[in-house]
């Protein structure tokens, strides 16, 4: 391959906050473009999230069916949650979410992937973990099931069946698609995974 040209410095020339909510902030950035001039980019800032591929000893993956208002439908998802607890390491957030949503703990944790959900307009980064050696636990003290979680169902599905559901279009949540396919690859080829504390 030919050498890549020197990258352009995409400097932010101005920022206007359009909206600030409980989870997200929308900024309008004016950005310097290659060849001169500038362009406006709308950017959604998000605290980030974690997702967990919880695989039991029989090779079944834990999936949730949860209603998602923006798409107006129920989606099959992994246990997951926002990185909204100040100072909490991502793997600890993953452990907490696994206990809160599906009442499970795991003996072994690995970092499968790190991805940006939709980098064309949003800075949300999701860390997807593999959790193995599952055991039942109580929900953390003080956690209350509310809103859409009251209507959430939990199922276990053989990993191979979950992979097929990705290709059938039944599993559409991006973290679930990434996590299920990555876990299947781990089982098939045992690639080298990053340290659980990596980002």
SS3 of residue 58 by DSSP? coil
CA–CA separation, 6 and 123 (whole Å): 24
Closest-CA residue to 52 (of 76, 89, 88, 78): 78
To the query of whether residue 149 is one of the catalytic residues in this protein, the response is yes
CA–CA separation, 179 and 37 (whole Å): 40
CA–CA separation, 174 and 165 (whole Å): 13
Catalytic residue chosen out of the listed positions 16, 148, 149, 155: 149
Instruction: Give the up-direction half-sphere exposure of residue 38: CA atoms within 13 A in the CB hemisphere.
Output: 12
Instruction: Give the up-direction half-sphere exposure of residue 92: CA atoms within 13 A in the CB hemisphere.
Output: 6
Alpha carbon of 177 to those of 84, 92, 172, 180, 181: distances in Å? 23, 22, 6, 5, 6
Query: Which residue numbers are catalytic?
Result: 149
């Amino acid at each position: 391959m030919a050498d890549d040209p020197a990258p352009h410095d995409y400097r932010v020339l101005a920022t206007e906050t359009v909206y600030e909510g409980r989870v997200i902030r929308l900024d309008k950035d004016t950005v310097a473009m290659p060849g001169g001039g500038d362009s406006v980019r709308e950017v959604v800032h998000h605290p980030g999230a974690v997702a967990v591929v919880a695989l039991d000893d029989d090779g079944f993956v834990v999936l949730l069916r949860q209603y998602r208002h923006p798409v107006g439908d129920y989606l099959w998802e992994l246990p997951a949650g926002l990185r909204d607890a100040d100072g909490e390491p991502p793997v600890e957030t993953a452990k907490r979410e696994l206990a809160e949503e599906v009442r499970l703990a795991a003996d072994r944790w690995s970092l499968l992937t790190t991805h940006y959900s939709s980098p064309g307009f949003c800075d949300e980064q999701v860390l997807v973990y593999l959790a193995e050696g599952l055991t039942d636990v109580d929900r953390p003290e003080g956690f209350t099931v509310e809103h859409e979680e009251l209507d959430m169902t939990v199922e276990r599905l053989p990993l191979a069946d979950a992979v097929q559901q990705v290709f059938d279009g039944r599993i559409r949540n991006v973290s679930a698609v990434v996590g299920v396919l990555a876990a299947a690859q781990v089982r098939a080829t045992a690639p080298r995974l990053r340290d659980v504390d990596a980002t």
